Every structure is written in structure tokens, then in C-alpha cells.
Amino acid sequence: MDLKQAIQKQAQAAGFDAVGFTRADADRQDGENLQQFLAQDRHGHMGWLADHVNRRASPVGLWPEAKSVIVLAMAYGPATYRAQDQADRGDISIYARGKDYHDLIKKRLKRIARWLVDNNDCQVKVFVDTAPVMEKPLGQRAGLGWQGKHTNLVSRQLGSWFFLGEIYTDMEIPADPPEVDHCGSCRACQDACPTGALAVPYQIDARRCISYLTIEHKEEIEPELAAAMGNHIYGCDDCLAACPWNKFAGPATELAFMPRAELSAPRLADLSTLDDGAFRQLFSGSPIKRTGRHRFIRNVLIAIGNSGDWSLRVPAQALLGDPSGLVRQAAIWAIARLKP
């Protein structure tokens, strides 16, 4: 068994669904795409994307000793998917209905990394969406998928529903061939976006993306965009779910990614009553906790305003005196939207 086969066996034992290998040297196009994205201010308030651009644009910029990158994928897709369309319920992105993937995947990566160090004369570093790493370009270079028109990685085996993690190493490991684009003339993901964040294929304007607005955006949301958000209260799966390659993907088998019942179709009225303590308790171990109570309740109020349900004026009115100005503003907007 050669090294790549041995790593693949370790990855499978750790619960990963796919593994690929690529060189750690820079791809000039990746850096140019990043610079263009930032120059056009499409990153919105995500200032951290502009920090340490050189380190983000290339693995060796982050770690000069790196020679190879092992890219691993873990599926989290649902057994079936149907957008939550009940007016009095909120819609939470599939990936956030279970446990926080960061901790779980990092532990699995560290298990493989320890095995590498114990059995080879090498150094390693592991990353899961928490460092200046351009995961999707690396995933494409490692053959795991291609960046679709929605800018997410698409796999012919896993569809659009999978997490990525990386192991950088100073070992020379033969690279896999990169994956090529299989989107063709399809524009299903672009047409599915409610806010027009994918007007240009293969380019996303985060400032219009519901995932960005509900998770990263810290201020009031423009009325035009808020009105198009529907009942999305944390993240959005519309472009992912529209991808026809998902028909080849099976559901996630990792128990930690199974949806919690209370997060699958939560009542907006119930969520609106959460104070900071209740919010932290409900979302303990969930990625939603990082957003904080005020932004989350802002999202809930926007969903209430879009519901068309007159009875939801009551919980919205109860938040007119909330300590958070962000919540108070959203409550005013929601009440104004609801008519008898």
C-alpha cells in the first residue's frame, strides 16, 4: 500500500467521504480571483477576507514549508430536502441543524495528522474554515469537485452538500488531477437565488447573499433585501438545493450532522421570545450560537415581517422595547409589513 492509499484508508476510517491531494504552491488565478472579489467590495463586512491576502492566496504563503495539501470532504446532505414554507416557521440552513461541524471535523483531521506524524518524518497543520485558506480552489485542484456557478464546490458523487477540511504537510505527495467544470449551460442555482447574489455565474456578491446577511452582516438589512429573504433565519440552501448533481448524492451518515428536531421547523413566535441566556442554551454546540442573540432575533423578525401572518404582530410588538437597537429596528420593520 503506497502513502496515498494509506491516507485514503485513514480518511475513510475517520468518517470522511472523499480525499484528494494537490501541491501547495500557488495558483496565480486563485490570487487574482481573490483580489478582484475584494476590489469590487463583494465581501461586504467580512473584513477578515481582506486580511493577510498573500497568506490566503497560497498555502505556502500561510506556511512556507508546505509541499502538499490533503483535502478531505465529509457529506452532510439531508435524506430529502424541501424548503420550509410554513408561514409561521423559520428556515435554518441544513448544515446548522445539527452539531457544529468545526469541532468534529478538526478532531478527525487531527487523528489523521497524528497518524501521519507517527508513521512519517513530517510536519503537518490542520485547518477547518478558521484560517486564511482558500478551501474551494484547493478542493478543485485536488480533484474533489469544481466550483459551480453558485461558487460552492460541486462533486459528481456528493453533490453540493459537504464540508471541507485540509491537512498541510511538508511531505511531497503526488498530486491528483484537478476536476473540470461540469455545469454546462445549467443555471438552476442562479435562478434559485431570491436576492440576485448570483447574477454573474461563478461570482457571488456576498452583500446580497442571504447566508451572509443572516450570519455575517452585523447591521440593519436593507428593506429591499429583507423583503426577499422570506423565512430564512440562519443561512440559505436555495442555490445548493437547486443543483441537479445532488441527485447522485446520498444522505449524511455522520450522526452529529443529523438535524435536531427543534431546529428543523422552529416557530417564529417561540424564537422571538429568546433572551440571551435562552438563546445560548438553545444553540449550545450549534454554529448558530456564534451569530449572537441580537442578529438572530433580527432575522426572526424579518421572517415574521415576510410571513403575512397578522397574528405574528403580537410577538413583534413585544420586541419594540428590546435593549438592542438592531432588534427594535427589525421589529418596527416587521410590524409595518404585516397588515390585517
CB 335 within 8 Å of CB 316: yes
Classify residue 211: in a domain, yes or no: yes
173 grid coordinates: 505527495
Specify whether 118 is located in the same domain as 239. no
Q: 82 falls in which pLDDT band (50, 70, 90)?
A: confident
pLDDT tens column, 2-54:
999 999 999 999 999 999 999 998 677 776 776 676 666 666 676 656 666 66
Domain residues for 72?
Answer: 3-78+97-169
Specify whether 72 is located in the same domain as 192. no
Classify residue 180: in a domain, yes or no: no
Structural domain count of the chain: 2
CB 102 within 8 Å of CB 130: yes
Q: Is the whole-model pTM more than 0.85? A: yes
Classify residue 46: in a domain, yes or no: yes
Classify residue 25: in a domain, yes or no: yes
pLDDT tens column, 140-183:
999 999 999 999 999 999 999 999 999 999 999 999 999 999 99
Catalytic residues: 129
Q: How buried is 232 (Cβ within 10 angstroms: 0-12 exposed, 13-18 middle, 19+ buried)?
A: buried
Rg (CA), the chain: 21
CB 112 within 8 Å of CB 71: no
55 grid coordinates: 497568506
Number of helices (H), then strands (E), in the chain: 16, 8
Specify whether 133 is located in the same domain as 267. no
Specify whether 283 is located in the same domain as 331. yes
pLDDT tens column, 268-287:
999 999 999 999 999 999 99
Specify whether 163 is located in the same domain as 276. no
